[in-house]
Amino acid sequence: MATPDLFSSQLPGPDPAHVAQLRAALHHHAHQYYVLDEPQVPDAEYDRLFRELQAIEDAHPELITPDSPTQRVGGKPLDAFASVRHAVPMLSIRTETDTEASGAQNFDARVRRELGLGEDAPLVEYVAEPKFDGLAMNLRYVRGVLVQAATRGDGETGEDVTQNIRTVGQIPLRLPSDAPPVLEVRGEVYMRRDDFEALNERQREKIAQGMKGEKTFVNPRNAAAGAVRQLDPAIAAQRPLSFFAYGLGEITPAEQGGPDFKTHFEMLGTLKSWGFPVSALVNIARGATELIAYHQCVGQQRDSLGFDIDGVVYKVNSTALQRQMGFVTREPRWAVAHKYPAQEQLTTVLGIEVQVGRTGKLTPVAKLAPVFVGGVTVTNATLHNEDEARRKDVRVGDTVIVRRAGDVIPEVVSVLIDKRVADASVFTMPRECPVCGSAAVREEGEADYRCTGGLFCSAQRKQAILHFAQRRAVEVEGLGDKLVDQLVDADIIKTLPDLYRLGFASLAALDRMADKSAQNIVDALEKSKRTTLPRFLFGLGIRHIGEATAKALASHFGKLDVIMDATPEQLLEVADVGPIVAQSLRTFFDQPHNREVVEQLRACGVTWEEGEPAAITPKSLAGKTFVITGTLPTLSRDEAKDMLEAAGAKVAGSVSKKTSYVLAGAEAGSKLDKALELGVAVIDEAGLKEMLDGGT
């Protein structure tokens, strides 16, 4: 007997007006998302509305109407593209919204139940894959030639986007002769994060130049969808897309000579051998424990991957078991998507503050009602600068979409205009520094306002100290922002050298400072005195002098005094230095008080080994330019970059004919394609190590 529902008899039925409202909202948002590629709410919000409607309909099936958004998946195709009826429907996947380990346990338990496996039966073998955040694509090959590419659409009928898909370098146009006569490969078209950032940068430039009809994209998936459904293939070609294969559609049956894959994993391996990109993160997992481990392991890498994923997918590996389990409506029973926390969420703006950076840059920052995004609680999101803040027109009290993906700082993507309160006031950039009151100026051609207070401004002083003390500069362990706030606010530290005049007593006298901690800081300061020239130079916080430029200057000139006195012409001889950097160095060292700071730091005992100019000790990779792409097996990108730079090489961000080598790891994307296209040599991590050992 079914458990009696204790509540429904006491509660009035659902309000029909509310149900109608939910449906109208879902129709509207589905149209924005699928047809216009301009979502107005984050996926998580759409899912929430969808689940609410689904729950009402589950409890009251009599309310279901044939046109309810729950009765159809996807959206209607755009008129401009021809419709394609899929030979085999494109299914969707059941989603396990429980982002904890139990999501994997639930799935494994259900699979075992449906297969009638007892407790003693062996573990079920699964394939675990990332759930790529792009759009599903069906690629149809006839006698080895790509004849059609179609979007998923509503699962039955999609759109013919063949022209645009042909521009995706990673998708083979021809297959080797062992591919079957009819083959449909399914997978995800997506945009890499670096390609997305670069595209938006280009879009912002076009907007700044006053080009009409241009816009920035809210996230990589949205940009990918826009590119795929771009009516002009020439424009589509400028929007770099990537692809991962994860399944099949129609295929020549085994009885007619087609392949007979015993497992999903075997199928993926074969697709790879035919030239399709298959993610290196795809793995076999046995039983719930290994599924959980996979979910966690990929979750830890999520931020550092080159592309967005919104979860992982588990699939029963054996194709025989898949057939045995079959489907419910449009979802296979042998697969599930196990989500990660969403990377976009809705929240409200409590205020807009202006923060002052180390070089005086004023950044508008939205203070948010705390919201859990991409696995962390976010309370601040950057609005970048005056133009961006104005373009997005974020106002206090607004409901906004915040996004946090990868290592980038959280940002406000857009405002939900419908929800704006009547009296929300427009944000304007202040004309004076909010911290020290000095004039704030925006120079011609610059995007940012800057406080002109210099080290008179306590905000700039604090940032300058934190910059000098950071791990990548001279590294004073334990000197964090709270402590620096106290030291500057109490006027104990006015300039950098004051740091080394801090005694145990002055530290121990501070609020909430135990003797032990004070001693640790004293020790850390002592330790930081022995440093290197590049770290010291970077730590001075000269505008435009990043780590790489500091290293280049140090190895070119060898000695600090030589750098301080170098003429602009001499500075320009350094590989990494252009006119802006040269000017910035000269301006800095032409100021007597900056030279004074350097002298005092030296007098306090800060030392480094000086070297000879690079010309006398040529480096093994001098003059060579490298581009690093993808995930290397053991080295982080920063480590590889350090090793290359130490050997005299330059590390650039994009591939051109001038690139000497591309260092490629797993999931390398468009940069690798570009290298192959231009005939640039490609090496892997092992190759790099050989090169450094051998001194090639």
CB of 131 to ligand IVH, least distance (A): 4
For the bound state, the minimum distance from the C-beta of residue 246 to ligand IVH, rounded and expressed in Å, comes to: 4
In the complex, the smallest distance separating the C-beta of residue 310 from ligand IVH, rounded to whole angstroms, is: 8
494 is catalytic: no
Q: Which is nearer to ligand IVH, 91 or 440 (CB)?
A: 91
Q: How buried is 469 (Cβ within 10 angstroms: 0-12 exposed, 13-18 middle, 19+ buried)? A: buried
Rg (CA), the chain: 29
Burial label for 200, CB within 10 Å (0-12, 13-18, 19+), is: middle
d(CA 327, CA 119): 24
Task: Check if the beta carbon of residue 384 is closer than 8 Å to that of residue 363.
Answer: yes
d(CA 516, CA 524): 12
Q: Residue 132 or residue 449: which is nearer to ligand IVH going by CB?
A: 132
* Closer Cβ to ligand IVH, 315 or 395, answer by number: 315
Q: Minimum distance from CB of 35 to ligand IVH (Å)?
A: 17
Give me the least distance between CB of 692 and ligand IVH, in Å please.
37
- Rounded to a whole number of angstroms, the minimum distance from the CB of residue 265 to ligand IVH is 13
**Considering only CA atoms, which of 337, 419, 409 is closest in space to residue 373?**
409
* Alpha carbon distance 497, 601 (integer Å): 5
Asked if 74 and 155 touch (Cβ cutoff 8 Å), the reply is: yes
Nearer to ligand IVH by Cβ, of 271 and 381: the residue is: 271
Which of 131, 339, 624, 671 does the annotation list as catalytic? 131
Q: How far is the CB of 429 from ligand IVH (least distance, A)?
A: 41
User: Footprint of ligand IVH on this chain (CB under 6 A)?
Assistant: 91-93, 129, 131-132, 136, 152, 188, 246-247, 313, 332, 335
Q: Which amino acid would we find at residue 35?
A: V
Residues near 280 by beta carbon (within 8 Å), at least 6 away in sequence: 631, 666, 667
Contact 337, 312 (CB under 8 A): yes
Residue with the shortest CB distance to ligand IVH: 136
Complete DSSP assignment for 590-630: HSHHHHHHHHHHHHTT-B------GGGS--TTTT-EEEEES
Q: Cα–Cα distance between 375 and 303 in angstroms, integer?
A: 10
* Encoded tokens for 542: 């000269």
Nearest to ligand IVH of 96, 194 (CB atom): 96
Of 191, 271, 224, the C-alpha closest to 669 is 191
C-beta of 221 vs 384, nearer to ligand IVH: 221
Token duo for residue 304: 């550092």
Q: How far is the CB of 332 from ligand IVH (least distance, A)?
A: 5
Count of beta carbons in the 10 Å neighbourhood of residue 692: 16
Q: In the structure encoding, which two tokens stand for residue 211, read together?
A: 């080009």
Q: Which is nearer to ligand IVH, 313 or 342 (CB)?
A: 313
Cβ closest to ligand IVH, residue 281 vs residue 571: 281
Q: Would you please indicate which residues are annotated as catalytic (active-site) residues? A: 131
